[in-house]
Chain A
Amino acid sequence: MLAKRIIPCLDIRNGRTVKGTNFVNLRDAGDPVELGRLYSDQGADELVFLDITASFEGRKTFTELVERIAANISIPFTVGGGIHELKDVERLLSAGADKVSVNSAAIKNPDLINQIALNFGSQVCVAAIDAKQMPEGWRCFLNGGRVPTDRMLFEWAHEAEDRGAGEILFTSMDHDGVKQGFANEALRKLSDELTIPVIASGGAGAKEHFRDTFIEGHADAALAASVFHFGEIPIPELKQYLCGLNIPIRL
């Protein structure tokens, strides 16, 4: 049976992990490769590395990092951040990334999704969407949630699927960082309406939140950062717990 996926997300600046971690047994917790390998050993199903560097030099460092990740880690990984055009996608895929996630660039230039799907296949294209619940419904935001757009979540997710995205990574800005659970109602609607997998993001604070997003939110995968980085939810414990509830999980 196809397993629900648990995905730690690492923010990278100038080739180093940004958020602190409290892994005492790591030689260098700032090294994304070491941290990624630790997660892989613990049973993470995939990894996401987000480049938050703005500079040109930073991009080069990130590409070199992607090469090191591909050489050292034996599970699939997605890279995102700073992907503006097809050339960026090509650079990261040839460095060894399995998938790329596009966010703001795809909203500004939706054809980028078609181009990625056409050139590299839908399976490499993750459409990341940041959205916030407004009186008129779920609205998409740009640049990490600072700039509202004229796009609404469900309409844009359908369009992204039609254009060839292989997965939707939906982050609820209302839930992100609050640790009170994922946006399961919106996730369920997305998952039920779309024919591509949906990754839940934003809101993980307890093991039960993962259970809820898989059972109530119909999510295919769940992504989290700080609860893993700070050891609040150890991945082996989380997976044992979910497995005990008969949720299909890879142990």
Chain B
Amino acid sequence: MEIAIVKYNAGNIRSVIGALTRLGVTPILTDNEEELRRADKVIFPGVGEASTTMEYLKAHGLDRIIKDLRQPVLGICLGQQLMCSRSEEGNAECLGIFDVPVLKFQPARHEDKVPHMGWNTIETTRDGLFKGFSKPEYVYFVHSFYVPECQWTAAKTDYIVPFSASLHKDNFYATQFHPEKSGPTGERILKNFLDI
């Protein structure tokens, strides 16, 4: 199975590569259109800022390539946010795969710190990435912006507001949390993605 990771100016690709390697697959890191289209599965990781990342993707034609992919695609963290319609972070126009905006957390109480950083539970999970999940499980989050609940919500987390910890529509899957940093639970999620 060939797994391609979208190569762009994102941080910490190495953890994603490490997690996949531990699951027995050796991903390729590429921004080449042909290689991305040909791969069995594509991972769109992301640590960074929305508007500058979107500019980079557009400048390299990656926005169009990602939108047009037909195989299973997994967006992680900023990857999930960039798959939405637009983001309040830098007022970015995003890829529009999920027609839902990305909003900034507005803490109502002092103890609600932003960024939402650490282990939190995902609930009401749908099959697909969460096949075999029967109870709330802890996964690792680091983010200041969130996708509200919507018709594509595939897992929900409650922090300040209930939000989409994961999205799914057709061949597009996404997680706000980092499965590659979420211990055995994250490994199950990545394994489920590889098995789709």
Partners in one complex: yes
A123 and B117 contacting across the interface, CB-CB below 8 Å: yes
- CB neighbours (8 Å) of B14 from chain A are 67, 70-71, 94-96
Alpha-carbon gap, A5 to B12, bound state (A) = 22
- B128 proximal to A (CB < 8 A): no
B119 and A123 contacting across the interface, CB-CB below 8 Å: no
Q: DSSP class of A's interface residues: helix, strand, loop or mixed?
A: loop
Q: Find A74's partner among B110, B111, B115, B180 (CB 8 Å cutoff).
A: B180
Q: Which of B18-26, B36-44, B168-176 contacts A (4 or more CB under 8 A)?
A: B18-26
Number of interface residues of A (CB under 8 A): 33
Q: DSSP class of B's interface residues: helix, strand, loop or mixed?
A: mixed
Q: Known: A40-B183, A76-B181, A220-B118. Is A93-B18 also a contact (CB below 8 A)?
A: no
Q: Find B15's partner among A5, A70, A218, A220 (CB 8 Å cutoff).
A: A70
B18 and A76 contacting across the interface, CB-CB below 8 Å: no
- CB neighbours (8 Å) of B181 from chain A are 74-76, 98
A124 and B121 contacting across the interface, CB-CB below 8 Å: no
Interface residues of A in 199-251 (CB under 8 A from B): 218, 220-221, 250
Contact count band on B: 35 or more
- B88 proximal to A (CB < 8 A): no
Contact with A along B137-158 (1 / 0, CB 8 A): 0101011000000000000001
- A192 proximal to B (CB < 8 A): yes
A221 and B118 contacting across the interface, CB-CB below 8 Å: yes
- A51 proximal to B (CB < 8 A): no
Q: Find B119's partner among A40, A45, A74 (CB 8 Å cutoff).
A: A45
Smallest CB-CB separation from A5: which chain B residue?
B118
- CB neighbours (8 Å) of A137 from chain B are none
- CB neighbours (8 Å) of A67 from chain B are 14
A250 and B138 contacting across the interface, CB-CB below 8 Å: yes
- CB neighbours (8 Å) of B116 from chain A are 2
- The 7 A-B residue pairs with the shortest CB-CB distance, nearest first, are A96-B14, A250-B138, A71-B18, A3-B119, A250-B119, A123-B142, A70-B14
What are 6 A-B contacts with C-beta separation under 8 Å? A67-B14, A70-B14, A70-B18, A96-B12, A197-B113, A197-B118
Residues of A at the B interface (CB closer than 8 Å) are 1-3, 5, 40, 45, 67, 70-72, 74-76, 93-96, 98, 120-124, 166-167, 192, 195-197, 218, 220-221, 250
Given A2-B159, A74-B184, A195-B114, 9 other A-B residues pairs in contact with their CB atoms under 8 A: A74-B183, A74-B186, A75-B183, A76-B140, A96-B14, A121-B47, A121-B48, A123-B142, A221-B118
